[in-house]
Structure 1
Amino acid sequence: MKLNGGNKKLLVGESHGMLSDETIAEIFEQLAPKERARFSVINKHLYNLLHPWSDINRITAHKVGIVLASDRYILEVHNTTGKTDVNKLTSALHNSPFIQKLVISSTDHIRTISATAFDCLSNLRELTLPCDIFDKQSNLHDKIKAIFSIKRLLVLRILKRFDTPRKAMNIMRAEHVEYLQANAIKMLKLQGVSLTGAAMEKISNKYSNSLKYLCLMGVLVHTPDGAIYLKALCNLKCLCKVTLPPSLLSLSSKPLYQECRMLQKLTAKYLCVYVYESEIVEIRYFMKKLMPLTLRELCLHDPTHMVASDLKSDEFRKLHFKVTFCKRTDSLYQQEWMHGHCELLSHMVWVQPYKHFNTEYPHP
């Protein structure tokens, strides 16, 4: 049996009786998953000592394999052509009940994983999934229900893959929010999905007293229902940081100032919005009249560069908040929790054209 990344062999059958439990555990942490499985079944004592894998606290499942990480080691398992590959993630989750961060970047993993694999993840705090799980054609209804049953979740990210187009039929409905069993989600990041008004209301009611960070810049909403989304946002009592979807502030339905007056009721200290050239006049009014008193920073995605010139005038120098600017390409990937395997975009802006599917959307 070889140590992960090494050439020396460990004669377990002859020497394990001479080693302390601490030394055995130290050696075990350096073994690849396949060797771990072989090592732990040598006898009952080793199985009880080494099972489950208490050192693994992060798992990333990407298109060509799985990465298991502890505070000291990173173990990679690459896919082969064998039939056993479909069960690798299920096996890893069953053996690693103490993981705190889980990234699944492909629906192929979700489609083949056992629904019971999520039952033991009582310590999971951060979960990242691909937005295609909400595609009706994916037929992952039962898997979503199983995944969302994790009760101690604090961070939920639904992100778009780098190699898939945006699809308005990736619809997050009210029933999906109902499946969430977590009591106190603090951060929710959605992109590449259509968020119904009913789903936004459910999020607001369910996490009114816990949600602090809400990123919707990469979401498509139903513009005529703008008042529903804004009212739901105002119901989030702990909200500190929020990014708004461009489709929410679109002028295709009603004048911006009629519905967006509700923004004054937000408790957020940080707000990020996208600026269209056709909205420059409204954005000026937006900045001077509609910002909440709690706001400390307004971040603008402004490809027009017209707002920046406006800020030089005297009327904008007395704003009670700082104005910053960012580009759509400022931050594409978030490396830390991906372990170098970045298949999901951490930054997306869902800009025009907006193509709603009126026959099925936005009904909950």
Structure 2
Amino acid sequence: MFDLLSDDVRRRIYGHLEVKERGRLASVNRSFRRLFQTWDDVLYCSARNDGVSLAVENFVFEVDKSGNISSLVNIFACCISRCPWIRKLAIHDACVLADIDTKLIRHMINVDELHIPSNLFKNSSSTDEMIKAILSLPKLRILHIQQRYCEEKSHTNIFHSHHAQSITSRSILNIKLQGVTVTSAALEVLSLKYARTVEILCLIGSLMHTHDINIYFNALNRFEKLLSLTIPPSLYSVSTTNKTLFTTNYPSLRGLHSLRNVAAFVSRPDFDELKRFLGIVLPTNLEHLILFDESCRLSMNVEDEFNGRKPTIHFCDDEEIIVDTFWTNDKSELITRSLWKPPYKPYTVFQPTLPEWYCLISELMDEASSIEQIDHETSFPSVLPNSNTADAMTAIVTDDRAHTQNVFDVIAKTSLNTAHELESKMENSNATNEIRTARSAINATSTTISDEHRGGNMTASTIQSVQVFGRKKTATAVAYCKKGRGLIKVNGRPLEHMQPEILRIKLQEPLLILGKERYQEVDIRVRVKGGGHVAQIYAIRQALAKAIVAYYQKFVDEQSKKELKEQLTSYDRNLLVADPRRREPKKFGGSGARARYQKSYR
């Protein structure tokens, strides 16, 4: 009966089948295999380190969910070879492209929207061929280089000029560069190639060299058709320091007559600098200005001064968000909006998430509460001067240029007379004498700090924060809780995006038990490692519960802490106390912990 149908009808039926059914149907005979050799209805592809999602206009299906990278690479290579009409391609991890033949990438000539991770540009010498192949797609219209949700921003991810030269598309409309360092030469190449085509340019998540600010702004002024622009904080931000930085003239974008939307970062709020930014830097026909202001100090002045006037100023938070589209199957690992704020560290590494002293006392909160008060009174005065001295001594061990900078730092901390003496000594001495002078000044400074602290004159400004951890089997979740406005992130992602979805309600149990109003005044950042998906969910929920209890114990009052603890323990004691159960290890002589190999005495 199926043989009587035409090829067009067969293809329509074929378009509604899952992957396994397609393979079975194609293996019936040679004519079916030749007819269904390619999947012409697949238009979208999303490749992650845990699977590949293929999508058509009406539905999405998963090709593989295996954790084996080698098999995943083979699956991805098979998918792109069988789907020649893919228009939107999203690669969420660089390991997916590890062993892919560049010829397969070059054959994807119909891709017009490309999303690639920023860590692909980390070791550009080893991945240059792959980058060149993936950027040379001829019909490319949208290019997004995005940061992965579970990785930190790194200055070693560099977008060079030869990467920009590798782009062979004649017209690109939308460019987003985030999580990478964009060189001035690379932006110049983009501005020369696509001056009349680029309409949206998102750079707020990238890092740029501030010393080349004139080169960057000259390149930006070449984009004639630019409608929307986001300025990275490393290039320009609304700050009180702009008066001293731009002594002669401010950089200008007034030549961009078609520019309508601009987004910028506010580092040090100043209303006069905002007026200069609008009057000198931005064009007059601007319609919308988006400001990322952490302090929210400019909003009141803007409402009074710019009410009903153009441009319309909007204030936005600086949180990283992920916007999932249907063809990524709600499993996107690339951050849609990211902001690369100062300070800019020369070596970006994961900061050690060490638990604080009150977390190491005991797993039980009852034992920790009695020891906390004694340890806080006895250990705090002696720790503070030593920590300052240790920080100062660590800063000395640098190169000769750093030695000079350290001497200037010591000058800023001492009195004016001592500063002049150190400056005169520094000019007439070599690097060794500078180190000795800095060390003696640091010792004198630490002694002064100790004397002031003994006299009770020292005022230390501390951030209200606690750090706790939750465990389940081999999964460990470290939660850093500080005063905030109710933001909760797990490995950089909101709770609403955590997987598996069926256990998401389990993850939100502390919020549902205590009420979200308890979490409205705190921000919690959780980092979880180890274990499986279910174990990580239980470790995260325990860390969230222990974090709010520890915060209320330290910064609110003991009565509120007891109320929270009673509510949590009455529901589930494992919200505050770790589960000690572990899988019993296997022994020799059998297939498991207790089972023994069967033997016969005959």
Taking structure 1 as the reference length, the TM-score comes to 0.87
Aligned match for 1:69, one of 55, 59, 66: 55
Determine helix, strand or coil for the equivalent of 1:242: strand
For residue 238 of structure 1, give the secondary structure of its aligned residue in structure 2: coil
Q: Does 1:322 align with 2:312?
A: yes
Helix, strand or coil for the counterpart of 2:224? Answer: coil
The residue aligned with 1:47 is 33
Identify the match of residue 234 of structure 1 among 213, 221, 231: 221
User: Match for residue 146 of structure 1?
Assistant: 133
Shift of 1:35: 3.8
Count of aligned residue pairs for this structure pair: 342
Structural mapping, 1:123-272, within 5 Å? 123-136=110-123, 139-249=126-236, 251=241, 255-256=245-246, 258=248, 260-267=250-257, 268-272=259-263
Which of 51, 55, 66 is equivalent to 1:80? Answer: 66
Query: Of the candidates 9, 21, 25, which is equivalent to residue 11 of structure 2?
Result: 25
Structure 1 counterpart SS, 2:180 = strand
Superposed displacement of residue 332, structure 1: 3.1
Structure with max Cα Rg:
2
Q: Which amino acid aligns with 2:236?
A: L
The reply to whether residue 119 of structure 1 matches residue 106 of structure 2 is: yes
Q: Aligned with 1:265: secondary structure?
A: coil
How far the C-alpha of 1:337 sits from its partner, in A, is 4.6
* Alpha-carbon shift at residue 73 of structure 1 (Å): 2.3
Kindly tell me: are residues 293 and 104 of structure 1, through their superposed partners in 2, closer, same or farther at Cα, counting changes over 3 Å?
same
Q: Distance in 1 between matches of 2:147 and 2:300?
A: 33
Q: 1:262 to 1:199 in 2, by over 3 A?
A: same
Compared with structure 1, are the counterparts of its residues 259 and 36 closer, same or farther at alpha carbon in structure 2 (3 Å cutoff)?
farther
The answer to whether the Cα contact below 8 Å between 2:39 and 2:82 also exists between their aligned partners in 1 is yes
SS across alignment from 1:156: strand
Whole-Å separation in 1 of the counterparts to 2:229 and 2:72: 39
Which residue number in structure 2 is paired with residue 296 of structure 1? 287
Q: Which amino acid aligns with 2:41?
A: D
1:113 Cα deviation (Å)?
1.8
Shift of 1:111: 1.3
User: Which SS does the other structure have where 1:246 is aligned?
Assistant: coil
2:338 is matched with 348
Shift of 1:85: 2.9
Residue 369 of structure 2 is matched in structure 1 by none
**Matched position secondary structure for 1:277:** coil
Residues 153-174 of structure 1: CA distance to partner in whole angstroms, max 9, x if unpaired? 0001011011011101100000
Tell me, yes or no, if structure 1 residue 332 matches structure 2 residue 322: yes
Q: For the structure 1 residues 345 and 317, does the alpha-carbon distance in structure 2 shift closer, same or farther, using more than 3 Å as the test? A: same
Shift of 1:285: 1.8
Question: How far is the alpha carbon of 1:46 from its aligned partner?
Answer: 1.9
For the pair 1:274 / 2:290, whether they are aligned, the reply is no
Moved runs in structure 1, 4+ residues, more than 6 A? none
Pair 1:180–1:96, CA change in 2 (3 A) = same
Query: SS of 1:192's equivalent?
Result: coil
Deviation at 1:275, TM superposition (A): 0.4
How far apart are 1:81 and its partner, in Å? 6.0
Contact 1:223 1:252 survives alignment (8 Å): no
One-letter amino acid of the structure 2 residue matched with residue 79 of structure 1: K
- Greater mean alpha carbon deviation, residues 39-48 or residues 160-169: 39-48
1:26–1:337 CA distance, 2 compared to 1 (3 A): closer
Between 1:263-272 and 1:251-260, the stretch displaced more is 251-260
Is the 8 Å Cα contact of residues 135 and 166 (structure 2) preserved in structure 1? yes
**What is the rounded CA distance, in whole Å, between the counterparts of 2:29 and 2:319 in structure 1?**
54
Verify: 1:305 aligned to 2:292, yes or no: no
Asked whether the equivalents of residues 101 and 124 of structure 1 are also in contact (C-alpha less than 8 Å), the reply is yes
Change in Cα spacing, 1:340 to 1:114, as seen in structure 2 (3 Å) is: same
Return closer, same or farther for 1:188/1:78 CA change in 2, 3 Å cut-off.
same
Structure with the bigger RCO (C-alpha within 8 Å, sep 6+) is 1
Q: Which residue of 1 aligns with 2:90?
A: 103
C-alpha distance in structure 1 between counterparts of 2:54 and 2:47, whole Å: 9
| 1:132–1:138 contact (8 Å) kept in structure 2 | no
C-alpha contact (below 8 Å) 2:324/2:331 kept by paired residues: no
Q: Which runs of 5+ in 2 are unaligned?
A: 348-602
How far apart, in 1, do the equivalents of 2:249 and 2:82 lie? 51
Distance 1:181 1:226, change over 3 A: same
Distance 1:254 1:194 in 2: 25
SS in structure 1 of the partner of residue 252 of structure 2: helix
Cα separation, 2, equivalents of 1:88 and 1:247: 40
Q: Aligned in 2, Cα 1:45/1:198: closer, same or farther, shift over 3 Å? A: same
| Closer/same/farther in 2, CA of residues 166 and 356 from structure 1, 3 Å limit | same
| Aligned residue identity for 1:295 | L
Where 1:112 maps in the other structure, the secondary structure is coil
- Amino acid corresponding to residue 54 of structure 2 in structure 1: L
Equivalent-residue separation in structure 1 for 2:249 and 2:61 (angstroms)? 51
- Is the Cα–Cα contact under 8 Å of residues 66 and 78 in structure 1 kept in the other structure? yes
Cα distance, 1:282 vs. partner? 2.0
Quickly say closer, same or farther: Cα 1:191–1:146, change in 2 above 3 A.
Answer: same
Q: Is the 8 A contact 1:216 1:243 kept in 2?
A: yes
The SS at the match of 1:271 is: strand
More off after superposition, 207-216 vs 117-126? 117-126
- Native 8 Å contact 1:226 1:259 kept in 2: no
- How far apart are the structure 1 equivalents of 2:331 and 2:163? 28
Q: TM (normalized to structure 2)?
A: 0.54
Counterpart of 1:67 in 2: which secondary structure?
A: strand
